[in-house]
Structure 1
Amino acid sequence: MAEGLTVEARGLTKRFGTREVLSGLDLEISPGEFVALLGRSGSGKSTLLRVLAGLDSEVDGEFSVHGTVSVAFQQPRLLPWRKVWRNVVLGLRGRGADRGLAERALAEMRLRDHADAWPRTLSGGEAQRLSLARALVREPDLLLLDEPFGALDALTRLAMHALVADLWAQHQPSVLLVTHDVDEALLLADRVLILDGGAIVAEHVLTHARPRRLADHLDVRARVLADLGVTDHAIA
């Protein structure tokens, strides 16, 4: 496998019974790169993320992930019987009870005032920010985001986009964002990959500086939608 990559996969294949979900997939992600992965439902996006996260090891082919990995899912997966700050440092060995570490992470998410709150008192957006705080407090080399904004309302989702972009610029992890939202991918990512039939079938590189406007990427947007099988007639 090549040196200097955060993620490298060659011929990655995953089967559930006779069904092949990932089919000879190749992938490279460089240090600090923000990659978005799009595809129809059932195309294997979340399966790939689970493999890279080490949550599913029964695969064929080769892959390597260099450094530490954190995951934020669509559902925050908070422990309701632990206060907010304890959810942040959940699972950290040796530093699991470090409130100062938790509060610094919460401050980045504008949640420091909620450190002693119970998770059930948080709004949807606050709960998702808490999930991100828990992921980033580990200072990961690779941050895996599995449709983390899908359950949020439109305004909260836009605020989360800005927050994630700022945090990525500050911490510079490699990021793999799984999403169904084309505009979200174009605003946040360096590259947009299209997954179909268990393999990556198209790649689009975004070159405009951040912060971006969707108007800068109308041509790329049209190509991405076409790759996803969305025609002008379907949009109308």
Structure 2
Amino acid sequence: MEERLPRRVAAVRGLTRRFGDRTVLDELDLDVHAGEFIALLGRSGSGKSTLLRALAGLDRDVEGGLEVTGTVAVAFQEPRLVPWKRVEANVALGLAAPDAAARARRALEEVELTGRAGAWPLTLSGGEAQRASLARALVREPELLLLDEPFSALDALTRITVHRLVLRLWAAHRPAVLLVTHDVDEALVLADRVLVLDGGRIAHEAAISAGRPRHRDHPELVALRARLLTALGVGPEGHPVPDRPLTAEAGR
């Protein structure tokens, strides 16, 4: 019997985006299914963030078919917290529900930021600000969570902590996640499926079956890392891989 995939939360068909004479997305096709975690890799200027903005409804100057069902939430590289509102008010911002404040408090508890609910955004550390941004996205209970390089500005130790937090939140809520990243190792530790965007289209796709927590010397990840680096034009097949553990684990 043919295995049925989970329902689609996003379907992209022939998506094209041009900026003047430059074509950034070129008749791109993509399906995103409920509950899956996708990492999108590509060189700078390959159109990763352009695709994410189109899925978020922030860029409507696109051609082709684009259908997204359910609620969408976005967390950007910069947390984009409103500086004149306290953290709890930022999390509840734009949430039209009678229990908005209670939901914001629950979201802050999930990201371990309850003690900073009354703080001003400018007093937060980088990791705290990014956790507040995640809480603001998750409080809307999205079916599709879009993450645009949200960890790139964090130091290495904070990034490990936030990786673990994101996996725990994803395991608890199970939105579909599309993560834009430049970091191959980040893609390998977080995602179920990795896509490489090149020439405005999905040039390479790989599923990851390794369980979590993941270790870099796992044979599947060693081979996949080499293939992804090759697809990104970084090195040839068989690129040497240092023997060290990956840094995130799934929530339980």
Report the TM-score, using the length of structure 1 for normalisation: 0.95
* 1:89-108 matched pairs, under 5 angstroms: 89-95=92-98, 98-108=100-110
Are 2:229 and 2:236, in contact at CA under 8 Å, matched by a contact in 1? no
Of the three residues 227, 231, 238, the one matched with 1:227 is 231
AA aligned to 1:220 is L
* 1:25-64 matched pairs, under 5 angstroms: 25-64=28-67
Q: How far apart are residue 89 of structure 1 and its match?
A: 0.5
Moved over 3 A (4+): none
Q: How far apart are residue 10 of structure 1 and its match?
A: 0.8
| Structure 1 counterpart of 2:244 | none
User: C-alpha distance in 1, partners of 2:155/2:75?
Assistant: 18
SS in 2 for 1:35: strand
Query: In terms of mean alpha carbon deviation, does 32-41 or 57-66 score higher?
Result: 57-66
Task: Extract unaligned runs of 5+ from structure 1.
Answer: none
* 1:1-236 matched pairs, under 5 angstroms: 4-95=7-98, 98-216=100-218, 217-231=221-235
Are 2:75 and 2:146, in contact at CA under 8 Å, matched by a contact in 1? yes
User: C-alpha distance in 2, partners of 1:12/1:125?
Assistant: 34
SS in 1 for 2:217: helix
User: C-alpha distance in 2, partners of 1:230/1:210?
Assistant: 26
AA aligned to 2:59 is D
Q: How far apart are residue 94 of structure 1 and its match?
A: 3.2
User: C-alpha distance in 2, partners of 1:174/1:67?
Assistant: 11
Q: CA RMSD in A?
A: 1.6
AA aligned to 1:141 is E
AA aligned to 1:210 is R
AA aligned to 2:227 is R
Identity %: 61
User: C-alpha distance in 2, partners of 1:114/1:231?
Assistant: 44
User: C-alpha distance in 2, partners of 1:122/1:3?
Assistant: 38
Report the TM-score, using the length of structure 2 for normalisation: 0.89
Give CA deviations for 1:62-116 in whole Å, capped at 9, x if unaligned. Answer: 1111100000000000011100000001011134x73221111000010001111
User: C-alpha distance in 2, partners of 1:162/1:222?
Assistant: 24
Q: How far apart are residue 159 of structure 1 and its match?
A: 0.7
Give CA deviations for 1:146-174 in whole Å, capped at 9, x if unaligned. Answer: 00000000010011111000100000000
AA aligned to 2:100 is D
User: C-alpha distance in 2, partners of 1:104/1:3?
Assistant: 28
**Aligned pairs, number:** 233
User: C-alpha distance in 2, partners of 1:105/1:58?
Assistant: 33
Q: How far apart are residue 3 of structure 1 and its match?
A: 9.4
User: C-alpha distance in 1, partners of 2:195/2:141?
Assistant: 25
SS in 1 for 2:8: coil
AA aligned to 2:231 is D
Are 2:6 and 2:33, in contact at CA under 8 Å, matched by a contact in 1? no
SS in 2 for 1:160: helix
Q: How far apart are residue 232 of structure 1 and its match?
A: 5.2
User: C-alpha distance in 1, partners of 2:178/2:45?
Assistant: 18
Task: Extract unaligned runs of 5+ from structure 2.
Answer: 241-252
Give CA deviations for 1:114-166 in whole Å, capped at 9, x if unaligned. Answer: 11111111100000000000000000000000000000000100111110001
